Amino acid sequence: MDPILFSRPFHSPAEIQNVAAVLATDHVHGDGPFTASASARLKKMTGAAHALLTTSGTHALEMAVRLVGVKPGDEVILPSFTFSSGATAIVAAGGTPVFVDMELATGNIATDQIEVAITERTRAIEVMHYGGVPVDMSAVLSLAAVHDLRVIEDNAHGLAVPTPHGVLGTIGDVGIQSFHDTKNVHCGEGGAVLFGSDNLTEPAEIMREKGTNRSTFLRGQVDKYTWVDWGSSYLPSELNAAVLDAQLAAFDSIQSARFGVWNAYREELGDWAVANGVALMDPPGGVHAAHVFWLLLPTPERRDEVLANMRAEGVQATFHYVPLHSSPAGQAYGRTSGSMVNTDHFASRQLRLPLWAGMSEADIARVIATLKKS
């Protein structure tokens, strides 16, 4: 029996046509028509004033950290339960990641733990909307206003999720998206930075174009371009943009398929979870992106046992993440604020089920049956 993969990238019918169109031209580098089209789609989906494509979500985070002014010696507060890119972007700018605990109910940063972590060196708060479940942005924005801090949204999981404060990724000073092929929408490797206002756009364009003002030159605003500030090569090729544009065009179909899988898990596992002391993902208000479906087993030993049994049956369940405060690099480059009791509890008991557009009803039924007998 074929294995059920944990993740499988979606393929839009228009991808090959778009890529062929790029290869038939002399414009394969970035900032061509597909870059413009994909950027426009992102702006429309999110309500962002500006959207700049990048080569990865990691590179978008590197840009975001520098754009909000993080410099050597500064600190940035972030959850320990997040992907390493959230911390490496801070370290790359010379800053110190400060890890705080999480909420068990959402997997998100515990906003009541942020203020105690603030020092005179704190420059920004970096939140991550885990699984596209919104962080309590009211609390984050309030703290940021009181302490004059910037807010970075790592929205790698939550493309186009609406909230009362706006669409995720557009609520803070700068937001980022990831288009890695494990994400709902992808281009193999890619990302974007989102802005709700104009003040960061030109510095971001300079940073993305190797520190030059090439973007203003291409718009005819200057007669030549030159090196004006720090930057790197963060602009993706037109091939990546062509794939992304096709994916964004299919967004509604992708989300419908993913929510079908997510809802099936939630409905079919409810009674089993209660009977076995298992906590199922239950987003407040039902708001999420159908990016992940997680559950918490009663003990770490039970989690590992179920994970091994499912893998032995060809169902590639997994867990995510190893908390950054306990990682070798986290201990070398960062510091931890307060207790990590929730983070350690969550990370040691969490299990994630396969979830991707294209899973058949038989695939879903097999995942559920395998879990129940494990």
Contacts of 265 (CB under 8 A, 6+ apart): 280, 293, 353, 355, 364, 367, 368
Closest CA to 52 of 236, 194, 170, 178: 194
What pLDDT shows up at residue 40?
98
CATH number of 13-250: 3.40.640.10
- Residue 127, phi then psi, degrees to nearest 5: -105, 155
* 361 strand-pairing partners: none
Domain residue limits, the chain: 13-250, 252-373
In the block, residue with structure tokens 């967004």: 251
| pLDDT at residue number 217 | 87
pLDDT score for 196: 82
Instruction: For residue 25, give the 3-state DSSP assignment.
Output: coil
What does the alpha-carbon distance between residue 45 and residue 77 come to, in Å, rounded to a whole number?
28
Tokens 């700068």, residue? 174
Structure tokens at 307: 């994970």
What pLDDT score was predicted for residue 365?
98
Which portions of the chain are predicted below pLDDT 70?
Answer: none
Is residue 274 within 8 Å of 260, Cβ to Cβ? no
In contact, 140 and 128? CB cutoff 8 Å: no
Cα–Cα distance measured from residue 326 to residue 338, given in angstroms and rounded to the nearest whole number? 13
* DSSP alpha helix (H) spans, 73-213: 85-92, 137-147, 201-208
Decide yes or no: CATH 3.90.1150.10 for domain 252-373: yes
Amino acid at 355: L
How many whole angstroms separate alpha carbon 50 and alpha carbon 37? 13
Supply the pLDDT for residue 241.
Answer: 98
Crossing angle for the helix pair 57-67 and 85-92, nearest 10 degrees? 40
For residue 340, give the nearest of 124, 154, 79 by alpha carbon: 79
Max Cα distance, the chain (Å): 70
Q: 270 near 46, Cβ under 8 Å?
A: no
Can you give the pLDDT at residue 75?
98
Q: How far apart are CA 169 and CA 196, in angstroms?
A: 9
Cβ-proximal residues to 183 (8 Å cutoff; 6+ apart), any chain: 156, 157, 159, 291
